[in-house]
Structure formats: C-alpha cells, structure tokens
Amino acid sequence: MVKKLFKYEFRSYLRTLIPVNLILLAIALMGRIVQFFESDSIAYGLVFGSSVFMLCAAIIVAYLLTVIMVVVRFYKNLFTSEGYLSFTLPVTPVQHILTKLLTAVLFQVITTAAVFLSLMIMTSGELLVEIFKAAGYLFADLFSEVMGWHLVLFIPEYLLALVIGVAYQFLLYYACISLGQRANKNRVLMAVVCYFAYYMIVQVLSTVLMVLLTVIELDFSFLETFFESLGLGALHILIWFYLIASAGLCTLWFFITHKTIKTRLNLE
C-alpha cells in the first residue's frame, strides 16, 4: 500500500514542482546565454544584473513553493473533502504520514539538486568547479593534517543531519496542522497559532536558560577538559547530540500527528 500511496503522492508533487524547477533551469540558461554578449556597456550590465536577480528570486521561489506544497498537500489531502477518500482507503495513518514525509523530503532534495544545477549552468560550471577544487584542497588538507579518518565520518553525519533537519521541519508543520484540527472552528488559524506558539515557547525557554546560566555562573570547566581530552571525537559527540535531539523531536511531532488522526479525526 505504501508503494501505491507513494506513487500518487509523487505524481501530485510532480505536477507542481517539476514546472517550477524547469523554470528555474530555464532562467539559469537565459542568464548563461546573456553572458555570451558580455561587454562593458551599461545595457549589458543591466541585463546581466537582472538575470542574476531573477535567478536568485527563482531559487527563493522554488524553495518557498516546495514548503507551500508540503503544507498544502498534507492539509488538503487529509483534512478537506479529499480526506473523505484518503481516510476511507485501506491504509493506516502511519502509512499516510510516512508516505507524505518521504515524498516531501525527496522533493526538497530534488529542488536542491535543481538549484545546484541552475548555479552550474549560470556559471557555466566554472565557479562551482573552483569551489569544488577549493573544497577538495581543504578536505585533503584537513584529512591529512588535522582530521584524518574523522572526516570520513563527518560527511555522512553532516548529510544525515541535513535530512533529519528537513524531516524535523516538515513533521513540525504536520503536527501544527493536526493540532489545528482539534479545534471546533478556525482550524487553519489554529494551526498557524500552534506554529508561532511553538517558536515563542522555544525563544522564551532559551532566553530563560541563558539568563539562568549567566546568573548561576556554573563551572563548565569539567566539560572543557572532557572535550579537550577527546579531541576531534568531541565534534562527533556534538553532532550525535544534535541528531538524537532532532530525532526525538521528530518522534514527538510524528506522535502528535498520528494521535490526532487516529483518535481525534473530525472531518467537516
């Protein structure tokens, strides 16, 4: 069933996001063509400047539309009239949520790949080749001089952190939309309120924590000694701390979404 759900989910994203990504690539291509007429004239400067501006705008729009698509698709497919069909399919809420999350993350990756490709086109690859070269030298230096085999671990850890970060954000949207559904009226508004309330709580808690740490003046020198003794291994600990904390929050958002759909579904 997950395979079938994924097929239809993928198709619905494809309809919206593939044209957006194609437009992004077309803008990059136009920007590249403009460069063939390079000159010192003001007109060229204006046209080139505009093409760079358009590409930047297209990149922002592509990412923005991906996020909008993730939110709208989840809400519309589950909590509007389409939900009458979605929730009468012989499919569990877990399968619904996971399929939607998987497709959303996949399309974020596709959009990132399109952005990357558009930059390659715009710079004819030259800039990126230089960046890659520089990164290559840097990595080689880091590998041989400083990090050694730690680097081999840092790359997958960093990629994992990126994916979990995206999943965390999307699951947070899902949880807020689901919480909004618990209200009797103004459910979309309640979802938005939940989202901002969460960020306000995080802000307040982190401010309180910072103030407390300053006031109490705890002695953290033992941590310093501990991390110093570990050397680069300390970085792995920090990354894994982030990964575990994010995964924990992902589980919480998933649990809230699932619980609402499973036990508090109230389609209007």
Q: Which of 42, 43, 184, 229 binds another protein (CB under 8 A)?
A: 184
DSSP 86-154: HTTSS--HHHHHHHHHHHHHHHHHHHHHHHHHHHHHHTTTHHHHHHHHHHHHHHHHIIIIIITTHHHHH
Q: Which stretch binds another protein (CB under 8 A): 86-94, 101-109, 164-172, 235-243?
A: 86-94
Q: What is the DSSP letter of 42?
A: H
Q: Which of 81, 214, 221, 229 binds another protein (CB under 8 A)?
A: 81
- Per-residue burial over 206-239, b if 16 or more Cβ lie within 10 Å, else e, is eeeeeeeeeeeeeeeeeeeeeeeeeeeeebeeeb
Q: Provide the token pair at 4.
A: 């079938």
Binding to another protein, residues 207-266 (CB under 8 A) = 263-266
Binding flag, residue 18, another protein (CB under 8 A): no
Q: How far is the CB of 64 from another protein (least distance, A)?
A: 21
Q: How far is the CB of 68 from another protein (least distance, A)?
A: 17
Distance CA 255, CA 264 (A): 13
Amino acid residing at 5: L
Q: Which of 10, 35, 61, 82 binds another protein (CB under 8 A)?
A: 82
Q: Which of 34, 91, 109, 161 binds another protein (CB under 8 A)?
A: 91
Binding to another protein, residues 115-174 (CB under 8 A) = none
Binding flag, residue 206, another protein (CB under 8 A): no
Q: How far is the CB of 141 from another protein (least distance, A)?
A: 52
Binding residues for another protein, rule: CB under 8 A, are 1, 4, 7-8, 12, 15, 81-85, 87-92, 184, 263-267
